[in-house]
Chain A
């Protein structure tokens, strides 16, 4: 880990701002976006997302949405965004139509709508950040 810290100081990552959350004013740098979406992509792979799989994303507009979208693409998946404000029956239909096995959301309405669907795994952004429980070793 020491080497990692040293390396990061020697080679500063890109500090360019790529998004500002209009609600909170929090900024997302290019480095943060790259890093967070890379980690999230690994979590998605571990959750069984394979190239070509549809992944539902129902998140409020903001940095998480951007990270999740990039992560699904990086994992080889197909992004199927769901607007959070849809009526319950419409949400249910869209979830059904997507045929998705995985959904990224922490929106209550979307979680409820996924109850009787064929979605196997629902992940929150918290599930997609941080160290994966048991990284695969070659």
Chain B
């Protein structure tokens, strides 16, 4: 969407110091090089440099600059998910997620910043390689301790900050130290400069080490810190005695800083390493409070860790996080303290409790105001990375029961949360483990959500089978999932064309929901009954049931179910030919879906409005809605959605009397559907082609159809949206512009090149040195964007005589 921000870079937590030339160079490099990897040891400032570079490049990338923090995830297959999530791309049924991401990025000038690739280096390399080879305008900036080792990668080794030399103390490292010391309230005068210089040298200019040291200046003078660190280098207790010097230096600084913490701070810091990404105070209290620290102490301890630069936080202290290097060190200490298993277990349990609570507030609790439901939905989504980490632990530790419980209380993993099929992978992974001590009812419950995900993935018969198994195994008092299963079966059976069987399930689900007072499922059941009636052509019944469904949905208040029932009413109105009402019903759902951030449903709904508006001859509205829908589908990578919009645009064109445009758009839609493996001829296309043949003749229609099939979806869409004809490729930049870039001397040398002269011969002719000629030629090549001398000769030969 044009008005959404074109980057997701965080606000910088403090001043960025130095590296001006590096920033300049890197920004230029990224223009020229598809993949740049910033390499170096932990703590050397890779992430910070990458963020700074990327921030300066936002104006150069109309497709956006997107930060993907891989430190949040632990398993290779999640790399694709994480990228998709950042880009707002949803999985397409039947298509590997990476393909969808690739299709979304193709043709976009955008920059992906993949931060901290080292622990997932193979998958990162594979993904980057696949993306850049398919997307010529894409640029990737990665940070990693190791290079990706893929073709076309430029490895850029991040050096430490410049150190002061004997002549002057004004160096990047000193400036950073003084800035961070000032941030903790220490004003260091000129008398302490020699000690600061000594300290910067001892810490080899490593930014993280300098920051940790500077954070201590309120209690220790730079001279004393330097003295203690000197001892420290001899006393490294963690591994890495044989590691490279920079790594040892950093480790010594981190360890020194850790050892200076109070016992409580030490315990908390190592426990904070269990969080996948950022966390708030409440989560820290729930997971980390256990002897020897109490929940009430955590706020103060956390504040202490922030003061010592070991924990970072935003301005309002709402979110806290650890730098990757610190997190790894903390994790190692947690391991050594023998607390890792217990902590991850508690993390899993706390997430189960939290998500169970959010699930209840969002969906099952009666009479919650919408604001509270929405807040719960958002809180649940914010915990996605931690959910994945907890699920990983459940699988790793064989705690299948808790893992399954987490799966079924996580709306973020469900299609409802805009996450089409992730739930499928998790439930399948957990069920493949030893389920011996998992209660049968828990398994039946998890099958319900597996079936739900499979429907979204268009695997209808498997979904149906599992939904039936789930129903058979669910305890009678598990009313909510039972109702959800009935509704799901209704949807699946209707999609399979089995309306009679669907009726029974819709009735049973509604009866259960009515008995238990569950308004969500009452609405879903009534909507299902309305859909069954509609399929059977009973329009009045479908209308009445749909109205009742919407009333129940309003009672519940969740925008998702309200939108769903409104759309059902729109479909019923369309079926009876009442387009005005249909459009009103669809329009009603739009703000609800927007509020929810349900992009997939919103795109579908906008396309419906566009099509109906076209039939009503409200062409302006139709254009605007179809364009918005197209943008959303493109942004979320849904090619099926793009095809849907093209069909809508075809209707619009025909209603406007542009039958040629209608054929082109329909052909482009058909080609796109075939490309993504959806083969269905629709009646409408046949009818459209019939009308076109009558009007334009057989030959012209066939020609238009085949032209439309080769048009890109974007070109076809623009054709109808703007009445724009795809122009032949713009001619290369005008020659006079290029000529004026060259100096007189360069033009002269270009002219001499057409005679096939060597640098030496040109040098003799012009009485200059061959090295100077070579330098002129390098300048010419750079200005004209050429890659060989011969190209200059060809160009010069084609110039008007005056050049030669």
- With contact pairs A11-B756, A45-B782, A136-B32 given, residues A39 and B155 touching in the complex (Cβ less than 8 Å): no
Is B797 at the interface (CB under 8 A from chain A)?
A: yes
Residue-wise, chain A 22-63 has the 8 Å CB interface mask toward B (1 for contact) of: 000000001100110111011001111000000000000000
User: Which residues of A are found within 8 Å of B793, using beta-carbon distances?
Assistant: 4, 7, 11
Given contacts A132-B787, A133-B152, A138-B783, contact A42 B778 (CB under 8 A): yes
Give residues 720-747 of B contacting A (CB, 8 Å). Answer: 733, 737-738, 741
Please name all residues of chain A whose beta carbon is closer than 8 Å to the beta carbon of B168 when the two chains form the complex. none
Closest to B791 in A: A4
Instruction: Return the chain A residue nearest B36 by Cβ.
Output: A121
What is the chain B residue whose CB lies nearest that of A131? B787
**What is the total number of residues of chain B having a CB less than 8 Å from a CB of chain A?**
52
> Given B22, B33, B756, B788, which contacts A12 in the complex, CB threshold below 8 Å?
B756
**In the bound complex, what is the Cα–Cα distance between A55 and B175 (angstroms)?**
27
Specify the chain A residue showing the minimal Cβ separation from B740: A138
Given A11-B756, A119-B157, residue A136 in contact with residue B33 (CB < 8 A): no
Q: Is the CB of B34 within 8 A of A134?
A: yes
The reply on B159 being an interface residue by CB < 8 A is yes
CB contacts (< 8 Å) of B794 on chain A: these are 3-4, 7
Kindly list the 4 A-B residue pairs having the minimum CB-CB distance in the complex, ordered from nearest: A11-B756, A74-B774, A48-B25, A14-B758
Q: A34-B774, A118-B160, A134-B34 are in contact. List 4 more A-B contacts (CB 8 A).
A: A45-B782, A47-B154, A120-B25, A120-B158
Q: Which residues of B contact A38 (CB under 8 A)?
A: 774, 777-778, 781, 788-789
Q: Which residues of A contact B738 (CB under 8 A)?
A: 138
Interchain nearest-CB distance for B151 vs A (Å): 10
28 A-B pairs with C-beta separation under 8 A: A4-B791, A14-B758, A31-B758, A34-B774, A34-B777, A34-B789, A39-B788, A41-B778, A42-B781, A46-B28, A46-B32, A47-B154, A70-B771, A74-B774, A74-B778, A75-B778, A76-B778, A116-B246, A117-B159, A120-B22, A120-B156, A120-B157, A120-B158, A122-B157, A134-B32, A136-B31, A138-B783, A138-B785
Task: Give which listed residue, B155, B737, B758, B784, contacts A30 with CB less than 8 A.
Answer: B758
B759 is an interface residue with CB less than 8 A from chain A = yes
- Are A115 and B785 closer than 8 Å at their CB atoms? no
Q: A88-124 CB contact bits vs B (8 Å, 1 = yes)?
A: 0000000000000100000000000011111111100
* B379 contacts partner chain A, Cβ-Cβ < 8 Å: no
Judge whether B774 and A35 touch: CB under 8 Å.
no
Q: Report A-chain residues with C-beta under 8 Å of the C-beta of B788.
A: 35, 38-39
**Secondary structure at chain B's binding surface: helix, strand, loop or mixed?**
helix
Q: Which B residue sits closest to A16, measured CB to CB?
A: B758
Enumerate chain B interface residues (CB-CB to A < 8 A): 22, 25-26, 28-29, 31-34, 152, 154-160, 244-246, 733, 737-738, 741, 754-761, 771, 774-775, 777-778, 781-791, 793-794, 797-798
Q: How far is the CB of A89 from chain B (nearest CB, A)?
A: 13
Secondary structure call for the A interface = loop
CB distance from B286 to the nearest CB of A (A): 43
Task: Give the chain A neighbours of B157 by CB distance below 8 A.
Answer: 114, 119-122
Known A-B contacts A46-B33, A136-B782; the reply to A121 vs B758 at CB < 8 A is no
Contact of A120 among B32, B159, B791 (CB under 8 A): B159
With A7-B754, A46-B33, A120-B159: A74-B791 Cβ-Cβ less than 8 Å: no
Interface residues contributed by chain A, number (CB under 8 Å): 45
- Contact status of A116 and B760, CB under 8 A, knowing A48-B25, A121-B157, A136-B32: no
Contact across chains for A42 and B754 when beta carbons are under 8 A apart = no
User: Which B residues are in CB contact (< 8 Å) with A16?
Assistant: 758
| Cβ of A65 under 8 Å from chain B | no
B-chain residues with CB within 8 Å of residue A41 when the two chains form the complex: 774-775, 777-778, 781
Give, as a whole number of angstroms, the nearest-CB distance from A12 to chain B: 6
Give A14 to B757 CA distance when docked, in angstroms: 7
Q: How distant is the Cα of A76 from the Cα of B778 in the complex, in angstroms?
A: 9
Query: With contacts A41-B774, A74-B771, A122-B155 known, is A135 near B758, CB below 8 A?
Result: no
Checking A34, A114, A120, A122 against B758 with a beta-carbon cut-off of 8 angstroms, the contacting residue is: A34
Check A125 for interface membership: any CB of B closer than 8 A.
no
Q: How far is the CB of A88 from chain B (nearest CB, A)?
A: 13
A46 touches B29 (CB 8 A): yes
* B759 to chain A: closest residue by CB: A34
Report B-chain residues with C-beta under 8 Å of the C-beta of A119.
157, 159
Q: Is A13 an interface residue (CB 8 A)?
A: yes
Instruction: Name which of B158, B246, B774, B784 has the most chain A CB atoms within 10 A of its CB.
Output: B774
Are A136 and B785 in touch, CB under 8 angstroms?
A: yes
Check if A45 sits within 8 Å of B778, measured CB to CB: yes
| Bound-state Cα–Cα, A75 to B775, Å | 6
CB distance from A119 to the nearest CB of B (A): 6
- Bound: A101/B761 CA distance, A: 33
Q: In the complex, are the beta carbons of A121 and B154 less than 8 A apart? A: yes
Give every chain B residue within 8 A of A4 (Cβ-Cβ): 790-791, 793-794
Known: A46-B29, A47-B29, A134-B34. A121 touches B777 (CB 8 A): no
Shortest CB-to-CB span from B584 to chain A, Å, is: 51
On whether the beta carbons of A121 and B155 are closer than 8 Å, the reply is yes
| Chain A residues, Cβ within 8 Å of B787 | 39, 42, 131-132, 135
